[in-house]
Structure 1
Amino acid sequence: MLPDNVRIVLVEPQLAANIGSAARAMKTMGLSELHLVAPRQWPHPDAAARASGADDLLAGAVVHESLIDAIAGAGLVVGLTARSRTLSAPQHAPRPGAAVIARESLQHPVAVLFGRERTGLTNEEVDLCHRLIHIPSVQGFSSLNLAAAVQVMAYELRLTMVDEDSVPQPACEWPPATADDMERLYDHLERALIRLEFLNPDNPRALMRRLRLLLGRARPDHNEYQILRGILAHVELALDGELPHQKRAK
């Protein structure tokens, strides 16, 4: 695993103390890339008090206004969720999920998302994820403290660094399409499907969510992403009557 390629993203954390505790959990396991999305208390002395020696992680934390900004450039986006999702990306327990993160971090940045203390990640935020991880807990008391969830995943990732032989070294010709690439593809796909009258512009959400899941499972590489964008662009040219044979017919 390449620790610098593993980005821990706290989405709208409410308490500075949890940010500090999460930073400490990360540092004890060799992780350093801390990203914060619209933190409520930041900067704040409670964060430094709870970091207990991980002040360098707090000083280097990257603050973003939106989650889209926080996952930009990531080839894999993984979300931690306290509840099972019926319509979602593939779900893993922490250990196999950590193996996926470790393997992919050898090739590109990976963003690991942790949701708000009270409500977790929204459905829209889960839709941005290629994989989900659920930490098993007793029935009726399933919600871990934010920093505790970070500690569990940081520990599992640390195990992969201790035993690097358990992580195969993949070879790939093209890097995967990044999270921001895929958002551009989804926007382009929605526009094209509306113009084809295949998608209802007044209610595009259900079908687009299915298509997100489909393409999220496929994990297109950058070359495949460019091919898909090229196909959509060609569809738009055809709809505008701008293909060479259409111009000749005029």
Structure 2
Amino acid sequence: MNLENIRIVLVNTSHPGNIGGVARAMKNMGLTRLYLVEPRQYPDERATWRATSATDVLDNAVITSTLEEAIGDCQFVVGTSARSRRIPWPLLDPRACAGRMAEVSDREQVAVLFGREDRGLTNDELKVCNLHLNIPTSEEYSSLNLAMAVQIVCYELRMLLDAEKLPATEDDQWDTPFATRENMERFYTHLEETLVDIGFLDPAAPRQLMARLRRLYSRVRLDEMELNILRGMLTETQKFLPRDEAGKVIDPQAK
């Protein structure tokens, strides 16, 4: 995928702050090419303020008076649409659509069109698109801010670009090896001894305590460093227990 071949096109945006918000959303995800079709108020300091550290995206934005100028050199055009149309059009969600854009962006110019804040893209504007994109939302409140909508689309593109760098599981990048079964058994023995010593566990009526603790620690998956910390805590706890002259821990339950 080549993000340099993907442009974000805002059509007739009414509020300059939204333009700045879009620039920031784009830069967060590594997209830099912004086209503005007949913005109602731009340039404007509110756009610069909302862009924060993405003013370079604004500075390089291309302003056109017509949609044709903004997408004339594009081979693949995606139009965002919040509602169904009388004539069905190829329609995908952001994730699947990002996949299609990624496929063609290495060899083609791609444009993603976002319409006006109050009514989106017109039917005529959507007709020039190869594909329509719809962002699923709650039926109770389906309105998305323009910058939020752009962020969602750009995020899906970023996820595809970084797919090979992302961890496949939650512990792919763990810094310490996970505890071996042998060491875990040593820990459980140490834990049981300590619980008996402090009177928390009655060997005569264990009530499945150790089984439940085994289940707890198995679910957590301790690494070797964490295991050593817990073993150290148990050892220090045992040092404070009262002992008889032979060094044996005095049973706290004994009368």
TM range (shorter): 0.5 to 0.7
User: Does the residue aligned with 1:160 lie in a helix, a strand or coil?
Assistant: helix
Largest Rg, 1 or 2? 2
Q: Deviations over 1:173-214 (max 9, x none)?
A: xxxxxxxxxxxxxxxxxxxxxxxxxxxxxxxxxxxxxxxxxx
Structure 1 contact 22–146 (Cα < 8 Å) conserved? yes
Query: Which aligned pairs between 1:198-209 and structure 2 lie closer than 5 A?
Result: none
Asked if 1:52 is matched to 2:52, the reply is yes
User: Does the residue aligned with 1:117 lie in a helix, a strand or coil?
Assistant: coil
Aligned to 1:139: 139
User: Does the residue aligned with 1:163 lie in a helix, a strand or coil?
Assistant: coil
Structure 1 contact 16–41 (Cα < 8 Å) conserved? yes
The structural deviation recorded for 1:140 is 4.1
User: Does the residue aligned with 1:132 lie in a helix, a strand or coil?
Assistant: strand
Aligned to 2:4: 4
Aligned to 1:206: none
Aligned to 1:105: 105
Query: Which aligned pairs between 1:204-215 and structure 2 lie closer than 5 A?
Result: none
Structure 1 contact 88–126 (Cα < 8 Å) conserved? no
Aligned to 2:162: 162
Aligned to 1:90: 90
Structure 1 contact 88–127 (Cα < 8 Å) conserved? no
Structure 1 contact 89–129 (Cα < 8 Å) conserved? no
State the distance in 2 between where 1:88 and 1:54 align.
37
Aligned to 2:65: 65
Aligned length: 165
Change in CA separation of 1:83 and 1:49 when aligned onto 2, cut-off 3 Å: same
Aligned to 1:77: 77
Aligned to 2:247: none
The structural deviation recorded for 1:163 is 2.0
State the distance in 2 between where 1:133 and 1:162 align.
22
State the distance in 1 between where 2:164 and 2:65 align.
35
Aligned to 1:186: none
Question: Aligned residues: percent identity?
Answer: 48
User: Does the residue aligned with 1:8 lie in a helix, a strand or coil?
Assistant: strand
Q: Which has the higher helix share?
A: 1
State the distance in 2 between where 1:137 and 1:85 align.
18
State the distance in 2 between where 1:116 and 1:3 align.
24
Aligned to 1:222: none
Q: Point out where structure 2 has 5 or more consecutive residues left out of the alignment.
A: 166-255
State the distance in 1 between where 2:60 and 2:139 align.
37
> TM-score under structure 2 normalisation?
0.63
State the distance in 2 between where 1:35 and 1:139 align.
31
Aligned to 1:20: 20
User: Does the residue aligned with 2:7 lie in a helix, a strand or coil?
Assistant: strand
Change in CA separation of 1:108 and 1:164 when aligned onto 2, cut-off 3 Å: farther
AA partner of residue 91 (structure 1): L
RMSD across aligned C-alpha pairs, in angstroms? 1.2
State the distance in 1 between where 2:72 and 2:88 align.
21
Query: Which aligned pairs between 1:148-159 and structure 2 lie closer than 5 A?
Result: 148-159=148-159
AA partner of residue 56 (structure 2): D
Aligned to 1:128: 128
Asked if 1:117 is matched to 2:96, the reply is no
Q: Deviations over 1:205-243 (max 9, x none)?
A: xxxxxxxxxxxxxxxxxxxxxxxxxxxxxxxxxxxxxxx
Structure 1 contact 82–134 (Cα < 8 Å) conserved? yes
User: Does the residue aligned with 1:40 lie in a helix, a strand or coil?
Assistant: coil
AA partner of residue 107 (structure 2): Q
State the distance in 2 between where 1:12 and 1:93 align.
23
> Would you identify which runs of 4 or more consecutive aligned residues in structure 1 move more than 3 Å?
none
Query: Which aligned pairs between 1:211-230 and structure 2 lie closer than 5 A?
Result: none
Aligned to 1:185: none
AA partner of residue 57 (structure 1): V
